Chains A and B, each alone.
Chain A
């Protein structure tokens, strides 16, 4: 794929690799005896692998294709394949974590395999690895199509994609070594955080520059969501990770905030990670791929604008609902609760807009599993946002908080909404990008759909039961005013649900593995699509870019 870069671009890529390798070497040398040293080695190896691919292309002839006539889809393709890899890894870790809760012996007594270390590998693996790569890849696809313009640059999309994955690998390997800031979804330490800021700024600039090249007067609403995702995640990430390293040669750092301010900053970040990473970006996917697949414009474009601004302005205030009944001032808790309840309006406007778009195309939903993925995703989006608003109400939260209900709620959103819309988008975009007629096997897509749906429903129902039982047991008192159940009693009561949850997760993982296989086989073996018109000549076709007669 590096052959498609011009000579100058290959040189820039090589220079970046050299700088990265130097940084890795310095980290490895300075951080000897500390996990930072191991991370330096990882950076060095990553830079080495990238250098190998760039060097292999460096002597090749310049690309002959006419860049003005087609979109630049190589980074999108790579991103989708990497996203599926992370899906299998992240969901596999999830099944293992779930199984450890049901059968603790599955820890196998190693330090690295303890619950506290592999759980963040699961959460970061699915959120950042799977979700993040899918967002980056689809955003490249959507920004080019909706702008009718080619990506603004050929090195920067690779820098963003590969740089982001380096962050993911440093994060996941750090967790296994015990490196953590102990902030949920913000566990990576200071040097990984700084690296992500660099990658993210390049991503933002790339998006803005591509939009600036657009040939459409209006910026299609999907781009607004992707832009909100990029911009707000940058702000959240920078503020929440403000910290002072204990030493420049070690991983440990101390947060710039303390006490309740730290908790508020963390949950302002944490909830908006849900809002802008797991919602805004995926709504961008929904607003592009669902109308496209249904071959119908979005039901109400005006409603999509209203719900965009509603979601953006309400979500940013909702984080304090994670801190009900804490040292946080009561009015801040109430503020978070109020905004969470109001959020239901724009959230349901989006879900309703998606479903109304399908009104009149239900036969397509019935026949086409890809569109059905997106339809069910919109339903789960509606369900989990309703549940979220409800759980943010202080009285409900007193029962639900700290129980498995929260875990069930997150997974209704993450599996039912985020993963399903992503798989739907992947199934609709893969044949297009690799110029195939269809996916390799539509039966596997059907299997995946039903496995994913069954897995999600089993998971969510198990956690609802488990969480509510747990919450009720915690608040049951005897006549003499003491607690009726010990903590161990609650564990015994939850055990069957933990087994069910692991089974639901395993079904969902099986679906993801089928998806990875199906995509691989589509790339390798599905018949090529006969184009209606000629494709523009690519560099891989060994023929002159213009007909000889011209």
Chain B
């Protein structure tokens, strides 16, 4: 099968659109998933005190 200009533009305009929509929905769901809130808060605060070396 030839990878023609027409074919690539059709793929970009169909599959490309839906895959970007799916990604954005997936990522938004991940970022705002309620049960992950605590984990994110912990991560955000974890960098404020990290000079005491690797965890033993």
* A536 with B53: CB separation less than 8 A: yes
A-B contacts at CB below 8 angstroms, number: 81
Q: Does A108 contact B (CB under 8 A)?
A: no
Is B11's CB within 8 Å of the partner chain A? no
Residues of A within 8 A of B48 (CB): 291-292, 295-297
Are A220's CB and B54's CB within 8 A?
Answer: no
In the complex, are the beta carbons of B43 and A144 less than 8 A apart?
no
Size bracket, chain B contacts = 20 to 34
B1 within 8 A of partner (CB)? no
Chain B residues in the interface with A (C-beta under 8 A) = 5, 9, 12, 20, 23-24, 27-28, 30-32, 37, 39-48, 50-56
A292 and B41 in contact, given A68-B54, A70-B53, A215-B54 (Cβ under 8 angstroms): no
A418 CB to nearest chain B CB (Å): 21
Q: What's the minimum C-beta distance from B6 to chain A, rounded to whole angstroms?
A: 11
Contact B30 A305 (CB under 8 A): yes
Interface pairs (15), CB distance under 8 Å: A69-B54, A146-B47, A146-B50, A148-B55, A149-B55, A150-B54, A218-B39, A297-B47, A302-B37, A305-B30, A309-B24, A309-B27, A313-B23, A313-B24, A331-B9
Distance of A29 Cα from B19 Cα, bound (Å):
52
Q: Distance (Å) between the CB of A294 and the closest chain B CB?
A: 10
CB-defined contacts of A220 to chain B, threshold 8 Å: 43, 46-47
Complex interface bits, A278-308 against B, C-beta within 8 A gives 1, otherwise 0: 0000000000100110011110011101100
Bound together, the chains give a CA A313 to CA B21 distance in angstroms of: 11
Beyond known contacts A218-B39, A536-B53: 10 more, CB 8 A cutoff? A71-B54, A145-B50, A148-B53, A215-B55, A220-B46, A220-B47, A302-B31, A303-B31, A313-B24, A329-B5
- Chain A residues within 8 Å of B, Cβ to Cβ: 68-71, 144-146, 148-150, 215-218, 220-222, 288, 291-292, 295-298, 301-303, 305-306, 309-310, 313, 329, 331, 335, 432, 533, 536
Q: In the bound complex, what is the Cα–Cα distance between A301 and B40 (angstroms)?
A: 6
Nearest first, the 8 A-B pairs at minimum CB distance are A215-B55, A297-B44, A301-B40, A145-B50, A305-B31, A301-B44, A218-B43, A309-B27
Contact pick for A309, options B9, B23, B47, CB 8 Å: B23
